[in-house]
Amino acid sequence: MGFAFVNPTLRSSSLQFGFGSLDDDVSDLEDLLQYLTSLNPSTTPPPTFVLVGHSTGCQQTVHYLRTSPNAEAITGAILQAPASDRETTEDNAKWCEMAENMINEGKADEFLPRAAFWAPITASRFSSLYTRVADGDDYFSSDLTDSQLSARLSHIPSLISSPTAALKFCIAAYSMNDEYVPPSVDKDALLSRFETIGGLEVWKLAGVHNLMPSSTYPTSHTDFVANVEAKLKTL
C-alpha cells in the first residue's frame, strides 16, 4: 500500500499523561510530520499522512485537526475507542473540587495528591479531563449538547469538504463493549450524533477498549486491522 507505520512517543505518553496537554501533543505531531516530510523533500505529490489514535490519541487527533495550521495536509484520521474521560464510572467529585480550588488559587500546574489518579497529575490537566470546560479534553461525552458537540467536531466535515484540504475521512472506530463507557450511555445514539454533527464515519466494533482478543471477542483486533487496511487502499 506504500504506507509506513510510525508510533511516536508524545509529551503526554505513559506517566507523563498527567502533566501534558493536547496543545503539547499537537506541537509534537507538528515536529514529527515536518521531520518525516523532510526525509524526501522533493516527493511529488507530497506524502500522505493518516493519523490513527487510540483512546487519548483520539482527542489528540481531533485536536490536531482542529488547531494545527497544517491540518489540511492530513489525508485521513481513524479514532479507535473515542471515549469520554468525564463519563467514567469513577467518582471524581472530590478531586474535581480540589482541582478547581487549586486553579482558582493560582496553582493550576501543581500536582494533586497521589490518590487522585494512576499517574502524577496537575490540577489543570485533571480539570481538563473531568470537568466540562470548553477548551478541555472533553470531545466525546454523550451529554454534550448539539451545539457543544458541533463546536468540538464541526471542523472535521469542513476539512473534508474543503477544496484545499487533503482530508478524505475521519472514522470513529467505536468499541461497543468498551469497559470505560458506563451502561448509561446510549452508544448508538451517540454514534449517530458523531455522524450527523461531526461528519464522522462510524465503525461499530465488537470488543473492549483496546480490542485485545479474548474468548468472547477473538477477532476484534484483526477485524479492526482489516478495516484499516481496506480504507488505506482507497487512498
Note the residue count of the chain.
Answer: 235
Amino acid at 106: G
Q: Is 197 left (phi over 0), alpha (psi -120 to 50) or beta?
A: alpha
d(CA 23, CA 165): 21
Q: What is the pLDDT of residue 89?
A: 62
* Residue 19: pLDDT over 80: yes
- The string of pLDDT tens digits covering residues 57-92 is 999 999 999 999 999 999 999 999 999 999 976 789
Q: Do both 97 and 40 map to the same domain?
A: no
Q: How confident is the model at residue 166, as a pLDDT?
A: 95
Domain identity same for 106 and 172:
no
CATH at 31: 3.40.50
pLDDT digits (tens, 9 = 90+) for 121-132: 999 999 999 988
Based on the fold, state whether residues 54 and 162 are members of the same structural domain. yes
**What's the whole-number average pLDDT of the chain?**
93
- Answer yes or no: is 188 within a domain: yes
Task: Look at residue 158 in the predicted model and tell me its pLDDT.
Answer: 96
Domain boundary among 103, 131, 159: 131
Is residue 180 classed exposed, middle or buried when 0-12, 13-18 and 19+ CB atoms within 10 A define those classes? middle
Decide: 60 and 79 in contact? Cβ < 8 Å.
no
Tell whether 159 and 80 lie within a shared domain.
Answer: yes
**The whole model's pTM is what?**
0.93
* 43 and 145, same domain (yes or no): yes
Please give the average per-residue pLDDT across 143-171, as a whole number: 96
| Radius of gyration of the chain measured on its C-alpha atoms | 18
Range of the domain at 152: 14-86+141-232
171, 81 contact by CB (below 8 A): no
